Amino acid sequence: MVYLDAAATTPVRREVLEALWPHLTGRFGNPSSVHALGHDAAGALEEARRGVAAVLGGRPAEVTFTSGGTEGDNTAVKGLALARREAVGATRVLVSAVEHDAVLASAHWLGRFGFTVTALEVDGEGRVDPARVAAELAADGDAVALVSLQLANNEVGTVQPVAEVAALTRAAGVPLHTDAVQAAGWLPLDVGALGVDALTLSGHKVGAPKGTGALWVRRGVRFEPLLHGGGQERGRRSGTENVAGAVAFAVALRLAEAERAAAAADGVDPVAAQREDFVAAVLAGAGPLLPGLRLTGHPRMRLPGHASFVLGGVSGEAVLLELEQRGVLSSSGSACHAGSDEPSHVLTAMGVEREAAQTALRFTWSRSTTPAELADAATAVVAAVRALLP
């Protein structure tokens, strides 16, 4: 089996399993308890927080552990916007048109409470033009409560100009949130270099269990918590903390970042070269069969282990089934939309026709995927397409 759906989820790393197991068994204390088991749990939680902060280049106190990307995005978008409205009366939210649904749905939820939402258009490669953000801020920056721009897109892999946009929002005094769920392990996450005010991460994209993740919010940025109760996580997320999950996430993130840094030591991530070979093989092999076949997303400014296409002449779902019969597991786009008849909002925002958007395929892999496996997968794509044509 060749697994090319890493953007949907990844297996739990062995090192992560070994790190979390003690906190599910003998070290099971509640970190709010005052006895020895509680102190032990609290210490492990804070050590995990320091580990995440070290990867981000932030302060441990700025890290809040969450149940994953969806919670992190909801908390950031709603919490930052509500706090800024309370402080200065701002009621506009700017989000890119290709954000994950967790961001888009959160922004539109705010619309029920007096906020207005502006979807920032993208070009045909899925990128936001910083000049568009600048124009929105120049027109009425005082009314903007929040800008949210993902670091990298989950469906087409396009990397956004987050640092450029951050310079604009910082000058306007507007908080900027970035969904970095897909970028972890592939792109630098230094919050100082990015210039963002909040950043969302998810554990199961980097080898931690599902239901783990973190939200980083810069110190001093106003933030309204969405969960209330016992005041855990410095009052930002009430509820007994998932110590084992936090430990697991911190270990997985550290390992993923170490792999990224080592791969980038020579200046070019070798996985990007594998991606180029895979894309070339698919286009060369299936292109003559499908005149409408094309790569989606930016050809260069994209995640290294990410290749996405629209086929243009055959159902993407049908090709997926054929590929599975040939031992290749991939997807047609966001795992959150699996089984939906609606075309991808990401592709339609990029100008892809509705019919073509329904022929999408996405291949995403990990650093353990070999060039031979990718070559086999490219061959399987061509065979699957040929099997479905009249």
Active-site residue (options: 24, 61, 261, 336): 336
DSSP state of 361: E
Longest pairwise C-alpha distance within the chain: 71
Could you identify the residue written with the tokens 């855990």? 232
Q: Report which residue type is found at 224.
A: E
Residues 6+ apart with CB under 8 A from 183: 151, 152, 159, 189, 303
Residues 6+ apart with CB under 8 A from 131: none
Tokens of 259: 């792999």
Alpha-helix residue ranges (DSSP H) falling in the chain: 14-24, 36-56, 69-88, 101-110, 130-140, 162-172, 191-194, 243-263, 270-286, 316-325, 345-349, 354-357, 371-388
Using only C-alpha atoms, the chain has a radius of gyration, in whole angstroms, of 21
Three-class SS of 65-107: EECCHHHHHHHHHHHHHHHHHHHHCCCEEEEECCCCHHHHHHH
Residues 6+ apart with CB under 8 A from 370: none
What are the C-alpha distances in Å from 292 to residues 31, 299, 325?
56, 17, 24
Rounded Cα–Cα distance for residues 190 and 171 (Å): 20
Angle, helix 162-172 to helix 130-140, in steps of 10 degrees? 10
Cβ–Cβ < 8 Å for 256, 116: no
Could you identify the residue written with the tokens 């086999």? 376
336 carries an active-site annotation? yes
Other C-beta atoms within 10 Å of 205: how many?
29
Q: In what order do the strands lie in the sheet with 306-310?
A: 294-295, 306-310, 360-364
Tokens of 240: 């007994």
Could you identify the residue written with the tokens 């939680």? 45
DSSP state of 318: H
Rounded Cα–Cα distance for residues 342 and 5 (Å): 20
Q: Enumerate the active-site residues.
A: 336
